[in-house]
Structure 1
Amino acid sequence: MKKKSKFLTFLLSFIPGLGHMYLGLMQRGLVFFLATGFVFLAGMFFSMMGIFYDPIPFVALPFIWLAAVVDSLIFAGRINRSISESEATGISLSDTWKNLENELKNQNHKILALTFSMVPGAGHMYLGQMEKGIQLMVALFLTLYLSDFLHISLLLMFAPILWFYSIFDIFHRISNPNENQGEAIFGEFFKKNQLSGKVGKILGVGLIVVGFIMIFDKIVMPQIAIMLGDQIREYLRTGILALLFIGGGVKLMIGSKEKTVVSQITPTESSSTAESNRE
């Protein structure tokens, strides 16, 4: 087996994966090639749908390219050293090559999982956690759909939260594969029927509010625009949404004050009860 040129490896690595294929690491090369293709497809999908920030997936391309270049140069050095050692000692390269392939299998699995996690839910599906993957993907696309349908850009703040959660959760899972990963995000609510409690009430109120906003935005507002004009329509939309947020904030403040009062009264009541019992 001939030694590999690091310069040629560097040149070929400008297309992620080709440098590894030149070194004979076909699976590793395909991993980087697929990762690049997946990022391109995700970027094209976001651009065609016109949702979120169009170029956001392409941010990963420089990191994939740099990782491919550095990784291919490191393996070129390792392969050349192995060839030199085998020529000096007369030992066959087959055992060394098998060990290298076994080492790369686990690493390729991690790289693919992290690449798929660029779309929330896809990485979890790749790892076999279908329920959690579907929940994350539905949450992402529902957020994007509602923000576009209702014209509420505030909902888009949940998209990067889901994105970062997906990436770091996948990273944690592949770093600690033997650790208990727990249940899916909403699994406990459905299995233990917790939706009938406080969480269910909050979810119900949220669905009712979203329903009213949809009726108001798609049915009432066009009629108001016809009768009063577009400017009044925008004023009403902004004012009603602002009132909803103010009402929610006031409700939260009242609830927190009531809890503080109850927590202050409870110790005094318990102490008076204890004194009466002593008497």
Structure 2
Amino acid sequence: MIKKKSSFLTFIFSMLPGGGQMYMGFMKEGLSLLSACALIIFLGSWLNISPIMFVLPVIWFYSFFDAMNKMSLTQEQLEKLEDKYLFQIDKLPSINPNLFSKYKLYIALLLIFVGLSILWNNMLNVISAFLPGYMVNVLYRISDRVPQLIVSLFIIYVGIKLISGKKEELKSEKDFQPQDDTVHDVVIQEIEIKDNAEEI
């Protein structure tokens, strides 16, 4: 239940992204913020992509000041606010059932990548005892960089698809737009026909 609570405890819980919202009863919003932080930390550590961590301060500041703003509202104003997921998770049941079949290949590739990554890391720990130190060091460096390489290639691929899709969209819009000269000629012909009809 959403209701006005202790300002001090709200402040304390707001130090954790989503904690202040959950304390006041905004469970869906708090869960969204907390999940976003956990996902970014997981991806940053697992894929060894430290620049993604720069998103964390943005989420933290949003979460903190959102909780502080909600804390300053009256009970009536709080009750008018809707508790909803920030990423439209509540719309998941209405997703087209064919969505997963459409992206089945991408989901399969992602699962294969995750499975191979886990298998490789476990096997590397086992075989490192039988290999020379320099070779183990090289293998660990490769295993650290491969996820970054795959993610960077995926980002480049998505960027190229977005650019090509935008070009096709602009081209199709241009093909459907009538030419100004053609419209102008048609209007002049209609005026001439009307003038001729009036003269007759």
Normalising to structure 1: TM-score of the pair? 0.46
Q: Is the 8 A contact 2:47 2:144 kept in 1?
A: no
Q: Is the 8 A contact 2:47 2:147 kept in 1?
A: no
Whether 2:90 is the aligned partner of 1:188: answer yes
Structure 2 counterpart of 1:222, from 125, 133, 141: 125
Q: Is the 8 A contact 2:16 2:60 kept in 1?
A: yes
Q: Is the 8 A contact 2:48 2:147 kept in 1?
A: no
Whole-Å separation in 2 of the counterparts to 1:181 and 1:172: 15
Whole-Å separation in 2 of the counterparts to 1:235 and 1:172: 46
Whether 2:16 is the aligned partner of 1:110: answer no
Q: Is the 8 A contact 1:132 1:185 kept in 2?
A: yes
Q: Is there any run of 5+ residues in structure 2 with no aligned partner, and where?
A: 187-200
Report the Cα offset of residue 244 of structure 1: 1.1
The structure-2 alpha-carbon separation of the partners of 1:273 and 1:127, relative to structure 1 and needing over 3 Å to count, comes to: same
| Residue type at the aligned position of 1:152 | N
The structure-2 alpha-carbon separation of the partners of 1:210 and 1:189, relative to structure 1 and needing over 3 Å to count, comes to: farther
The structure-2 alpha-carbon separation of the partners of 1:133 and 1:144, relative to structure 1 and needing over 3 Å to count, comes to: same
Report the Cα offset of residue 270 of structure 1: 0.5
Normalising to structure 2: TM-score of the pair? 0.60
| Residue type at the aligned position of 2:175 | E
Which residue of structure 1 lines up, in the alignment, with residue 30 of structure 2? 133
Whole-Å separation in 1 of the counterparts to 2:65 and 2:157: 34
Which residue of structure 1 lines up, in the alignment, with residue 161 of structure 2? 255
The structure-2 alpha-carbon separation of the partners of 1:131 and 1:252, relative to structure 1 and needing over 3 Å to count, comes to: same
Work out which structure has the larger RCO, using CA pairs closer than 8 Å and 6 or more positions apart in sequence: 2
* Bigger mean CA offset, 226-235 vs 262-271: 226-235
Whole-Å separation in 2 of the counterparts to 1:210 and 1:139: 20
Structure 2 counterpart of 1:264, from 158, 170, 186: 170
| Residue type at the aligned position of 1:221 | L
Q: Deviations over 1:111-138 (max 9, x none)?
A: 4212211012221121011233234334
Whole-Å separation in 1 of the counterparts to 2:171 and 2:6: 57
Matches within 5 A, 1:119-130: 119-130=16-27
Whole-Å separation in 1 of the counterparts to 2:109 and 2:65: 28
SS of structure 2 residue aligned to 1:222: helix
Q: How many residues align?
A: 167
Q: Is there any run of 5+ residues in structure 1 with no aligned partner, and where?
A: 1-105
Report the Cα offset of residue 257 of structure 1: 2.0
Matches within 5 A, 1:21-170: 109-141=6-38, 143-144=40-41, 150=46, 152=48, 154=50, 156-170=53-67
Q: Is the 8 A contact 2:43 2:49 kept in 1?
A: no
Structure 1 counterpart of 2:69, from 155, 158, 172: 172
Report the Cα offset of residue 167 of structure 1: 0.5
SS of structure 1 residue aligned to 2:25: coil
Q: Deviations over 1:51-83 (max 9, x none)?
A: xxxxxxxxxxxxxxxxxxxxxxxxxxxxxxxxx
Identical residues among aligned pairs (%): 19
